[in-house]
Amino acid sequence: MYLKVSTQNINPQYSTEREKMRKDSRLSRMLHILIHMAQMEQAATSEFIATMLNTNPVVVRRTMACLREKGYVTSVKGHGGGWRLNVALEDITLLDIHNALGESSVFTIGLTDEHTECIIEKAVNREIGDALAASEALLLRRFGEVTLAQLALI
């Protein structure tokens, strides 16, 4: 329960040039930090990672937990604890991390489902849906072809 007071609300609702929507930057952030972790001796604390990513430790734990579930990193509590890479960079692709983060869809474009009986709506949704599927397949295929080791070489 909170009170919102005095909003600016400069809303470009009628503008053709929309402002960019907020993006999910977890993939970019995690790839970045994983490569750095591969070059580190000690475990990286959430605090340390948070500083690197300009965020805070809880956000780091939340996101890294997704990677731990898949075995890409391990976490250790207490003194000298933190996060460690558990797999060689050669053995992780962008797709692996993308999948670990569990994003449901990569698109901002959605379909409608108001009239499941309308053949026009069906045709529209099938066409858009097929195009999105093909586009996503290409993206994921490419993600699957690149390992973190390749990125680390620059």
> Which residues contact DNA (rule: CB under 7 A)?
1-2, 4, 9, 11, 13-14, 18-26, 43-47, 54-59, 61-62, 64-65, 68, 75-83, 103, 108, 110
Stretch touching a copy of itself by CB under 8 A, among 22-30, 42-50, 71-79, 81-89: 22-30
Q: Determine contact, residues 98/143, Cβ cutoff 8 Å.
A: yes
Q: How far is the CB of 116 from a copy of itself (least distance, A)?
A: 12
Residue 36, CA distances (Å) to 49, 89, 104, 108, 142 in order: 10, 11, 27, 30, 22
Stretch touching a copy of itself by CB under 8 A, among 41-49, 76-84, 142-150: 142-150
Which of 87, 101, 99 has its CA nearest to residue 144?
99
Q: Which residues contact 9 (CB under 8 A, 6 or more apart)?
A: none
Q: Binding partner of residue 120 among DNA, a copy of itself, none, CB under 5 to 8 Å per kind?
A: a copy of itself
> What residues between 54 and 73 interact with a copy of itself by CB under 8 A?
54, 62, 65-66, 69
From CA 95, how far away is CA 78, in angstroms rounded? 32
How far from each other are the two terminal CA atoms of the chain, in whole angstroms? 47
> What residues between 95 and 124 interact with a copy of itself by CB under 8 A?
100, 102-112, 114-115, 118-124
